[in-house]
Amino acid sequence: MRDSLNLKSKSGIHRLISALEERGYIRRLAHRARAIELLRAPPTGYDLAATDAADAGRDGDASRADGDADNVIRGHFGRLSVAEPAPDRALPLYGRIAAGTPIEAISDPEASIDVPEYVLGEGEHFALEVVGDSMVEAGIHDGDLVLVRRCDAADNNTIVVALVDGGEATLKRLHKRGDKVALEAANAAYETRVYRADQVRVQGQLAGLIRRYR
């Protein structure tokens, strides 16, 4: 077949057989080596190799280099257009937040961090560095930077930054139970802490996370 079609490699034959199968002229039989069933005859004067090359050129997807020893199909993809990157927003970095036993809240920003605008969405945001492992089952690890949307209320089962007794900040999952507020860890090694509603003030809700690999 290769000699009859004046091709220089067997890969060209494989490609033409595949093209015949795609066009519905033949069917390769399963579990039988090189077994082919003829389904219908091509039109009189039909030249598969020429038609296949013409189709490729017309579609603009690929072309065959004449005389190529391996009948390599080369793609023509043109120049890719790259969208302008979204602008960054500088967020205040308010120190560290406990993902474990609450630690003293830090109210003054130590620094700032640039975050792409599309990550944040609407609203005012700030960043905190996580200390502890109580939220690992929620994918939040020691040393991560959490991006927090500032708010004073949040729905049940959301992860929030909560200020406890006006002086300690913690990162936990929020559950409201009547006049009680439960701050739940995402680590079986930590117990859920329950407070009176007037002891807990929501400072913000988790909006994103940045992980740095050292």
- What are the boundaries of each domain within the chain? 10-75, 88-210
**What does residue 24 show for φ and ψ, rounded to 5 degrees?**
85, 20
In the set 8, 11, 18, 134, the catalytic residue is 134
Does residue 10 carry a catalytic annotation?
no
> Which of helix, strand or coil describes residue 79?
coil
Give me the pLDDT at residue 28, please. 81
In the set 18, 172, 176, 180, the catalytic residue is 172
Nearest-5° Cα angle at 202, 104 to 135: 70
Q: Which CATH superfamily is domain 88-210 in?
A: Umud Fragment, subunit A (2.10.109.10)
Report the predicted TM-score, pTM, of the whole model to 2 decimal places.
0.57
Give me the pLDDT at residue 205, please. 94
**pLDDT tens, N- to C-terminus, the chain (214 residues):** 778 877 777 777 777 888 888 888 888 887 777 788 888 776 655 555 555 554 444 444 433 444 444 555 555 555 555 556 667 888 888 888 887 766 666 556 668 888 888 788 888 999 998 989 999 999 999 999 999 999 999 999 999 999 998 778 899 999 998 899 999 999 999 999 999 999 999 999 999 999 887 6
Give me the pLDDT at residue 48, please. 55
Give me the pLDDT at residue 68, please. 45
Does residue 112 carry a catalytic annotation?
no
Helices (H) and strands (E) in the chain, counts: 3, 14
Give me the pLDDT at residue 177, please. 86
Distance, CA of 201 to CA of 163 (rounded, Å):
5
